[in-house]
Chains A and B, each alone.
Chain A
């Protein structure tokens, strides 16, 4: 491994180590919040691979999050699947729906792609409402305790839940880092930067984008399934537009096209909303103001700016 590679992997491992230690110095309340942030960061990392690296501005990722959530939650609910198989089903569900979405939506690009993905996600949401007797609709359903155990650990309790969230996050981060440093990562960026030029280097933009979107869906599926299993709740509200916007905000805040940006963005936004909620009921306004400030003063997000100004080697 080159010197730069060593430095990069060390940085990422250091973050994992700090997060691991957090369970010992954070209050249980904050540790649970951090577990939630790590799960949402997995969702955002997947969004980042599609949007930040490949340039696919999707407004339909809530569909993929919900796909993972229901693909894990429904078998648990209906057939009593345990956490392991439910998790795998959730990841597969997210990837599968993303692949189907891509086959249909990737015929378009730019604004049309945004609209088409948004429409599909809305259709997904309405489908969940239509089948409310099974899906629970907007009210959702609680995941039974028996489905929230893994290898004898009760994932509804603090320490195992935190470790499970950290494990999923660490795997997601490692895969994402390996991916963007691989030849395929270079290809994704090439498609983002100039699709026509990439085609003249022998790449089929459609298949590259389809692969990136599917990988993004695997991440969204993992996040949705983890949310269902770790926090015990499945509901159609996760399929609403709000959950399509959320990962985009995280990524823009942290830095699109940076491996650590999604986590940082999720963390900062979460803390910001917590703080704002304490001050005013209009916390959405504070979040909006923060985003406007970000777009004005650091359009590349926190880590995008850090990379541009100081740490050129950040992946």
Chain B
């Protein structure tokens, strides 16, 4: 793991987005270090998806800043952040239902350049275990396979930071084991920010954990520290 003194891969300061009176993200200071698997946890409606939407550029904040390395990306359009290496996989599966599995992943691959398109696409599919399903329309896949396709699209972008929003939702137990192996194989080349409700997955994978409640950071630390944290117990884990 990278030393905590070097420039974080992602740093947010005072990041804020309110929906009317609802403080979805409320002054979040957050540091993500290169090479870690960082889990973002918190109860439903805590603001996790909204927070990563700000990181990926799907939404713009009302206040605060986001830096990627030393660069301020607070106002950078989403597609340019993708090109800078921030990939986002959707919580609500968002593949192209009427396109083939191959085309879905090829779209991600070709946005980096046209070289070896077919081979790189097949490689990304093989990493998530979807090889052989290339010619199928995405909408004909099972829900679990669509989650894996979503993951393959994120991987195919060859990102520096991969944001996974509840990736194991709807996966079978055996698929979750494969998923854990896969995520471990990504670091340290790729940094992973993982939103996850399955605590076994979080405790197994994460090198650090940030807990959000009501749009604010309740605690940040190693899995052991978070488990021992009384206010986290009260707000979330004990619930």
Contact = CB atoms under 8 A, between A and B. Distances in A.
Task: Indicate whether A and B interact.
Answer: yes
Contacts, number: 59
Contact of B107 (A196, A201, A204, A205): A201
Interface stretch (B36-44, B98-106, B182-190): B98-106
A194 B58 CA distance: 14
A193 B99 contact: yes
Contact of B96 (A197, A199, A203): A197
Interface residues of B, number: 28
Contacts of A244: none
Interface stretch (B14-22, B25-33, B76-84, B223-231): B76-84
A234 interface: no
B238 interface: no
B56 interface: yes
Interface in A190-239: 190, 193-194, 196-205
B203 interface: no
Given A186-B106, A187-B107, A194-B94, A200 B56 contact: yes
A183 B96 contact: no
Interface in B83-97: 83, 87-88, 90, 94-97
Given A198-B107, A200-B88, 17 more contacts: A183-B110, A186-B103, A186-B106, A189-B103, A190-B107, A193-B98, A194-B94, A197-B94, A197-B95, A199-B77, A200-B82, A201-B111, A201-B157, A202-B112, A202-B157, A203-B111, A204-B77
30 contacts: A183-B106, A186-B103, A186-B106, A186-B110, A189-B99, A189-B103, A190-B99, A190-B107, A193-B96, A194-B94, A194-B96, A197-B94, A197-B95, A198-B107, A199-B77, A200-B78, A200-B82, A200-B87, A200-B88, A201-B107, A201-B108, A201-B157, A202-B82, A202-B83, A202-B112, A203-B79, A203-B111, A204-B77, A204-B79, A204-B80
